[in-house]
Amino acid sequence: MNIKKQFTEGLITNNPVLVQLIGMCATMAITTTLFNGVGMGLSVLIILTCCNVVVSAIRKIIPNEIRLAIFVVIIAGFVTIVDLLLQAYIPALSDALGVFIPLIVVNCIIIGRAEAFCQKNTVGASFFDGIFQGLGYTLVLIVMCVFRELLGSGRFGGGLIDIVNGFRFTLDGTGSGIQIFPEDFGASILTLPFGGFITLGLLIAIMQYALKKSAKKKEAAAKAEKEAEEVC
């Protein structure tokens, strides 16, 4: 298992949200501003990487019958740590995400990776798997945030980017973002729950289209090669 393959798997061909179709509750709920999306994505990335390393390090001493209970306890421990750290250092993010930070415990991405990957692989491979799967998740969150925020309220980078006092990144969630077009022209329905369902549906549809197309291309290439060989 090499790193480059893991990278493309995590970000594209085996993306947790778009291809494995797991961890969708938070994906639809919190993608209203870029601040929330980046914060949630990075929290999941950190928790996923830590859990992957711990689970793969103790994979040989975990009794098979109670492995799920052990995974849940490990995950809940790391989630509590991240939750307390956010409350202490980035309270705005902790307020904005609310109950969805503790709910990372039941996010299927983390328990899914522990069950499907870390049980059978070394610590190093699991570490990179955590980082790349986390990046894949963050990428989807960012795409959804940008789409919903831009078309919903005409803004880009709300909460995260502040342009009032010169261009800078803020961590207290007060950044006004860059207003691309007046808010009145935005389809504000995209920032409501309806927008979450529709945007994720469209994204998965685009992904399925792209994957199918690339599979067809590969098939055609293989066919052409075979024919060429036969001619020779």
Partner 1 sequence: MLTNIISISLGAILINNFIFSQFLGCCPFLGCSSKVDTATGMGLAVVFVMGLASAICWVIDQFILVPLGLEFLQTLAFILVIASLVQFVEMFLKKSVPSLYSALGIYLPLITTNCAVLGVVLLNVQNDYNFIESVVYGITGGLGFMLAIVLFASVRERVAFSDYPECFEGFPICLVSAGLLALAFMGFSGMQIFA
Given the rule CB under 8 A, which residues bind partner 1?
21-22, 24-26, 28-29, 69, 72-73, 76-77, 79-80, 83-84, 98-99, 102-103, 105-108, 111, 189, 192-198, 200-202, 204-206, 208-209, 212
Give the strand pairing for 161-162 and 168-169: antiparallel
Tokens of 223: 């066919």
Alpha-carbon span 232 to 220, nearest angstrom? 18
Instruction: Kindly state the smallest distance separating residue 133's Cβ from partner 1, in Å.
Output: 17
From residue 63, how far is each of 71, 110, 126, 149, 183 by CA, in Å? 11, 19, 19, 46, 56
Residue with token string 């808010």? 183
Residue 202 or residue 220: which is nearer to partner 1 going by CB?
Answer: 202
Instruction: Kindly state the smallest distance separating residue 184's Cβ from partner 1, in Å.
Output: 20
Instruction: Kindly state the smallest distance separating residue 108's Cβ from partner 1, in Å.
Output: 6
Contacts with 47 (C-beta within 8 Å, 6 or more apart), sequence order: 75, 78, 79, 82, 104, 110
- Longest CA–CA span in the chain (Å) reads 70
User: Letter for the amino acid at 164?
Assistant: V
Instruction: Kindly state the smallest distance separating residue 75's Cβ from partner 1, in Å.
Output: 8
| DSSP annotation of 116 | I
Instruction: Kindly state the smallest distance separating residue 99's Cβ from partner 1, in Å.
Output: 5
Instruction: Kindly state the smallest distance separating residue 69's Cβ from partner 1, in Å.
Output: 6
Residue 77 or residue 171: which is nearer to partner 1 going by CB?
Answer: 77
Which ranges of the chain would DSSP assign to H, the alpha helix?
A: 3-8, 24-30, 34-57, 67-89, 91-97, 108-113, 123-153, 193-231
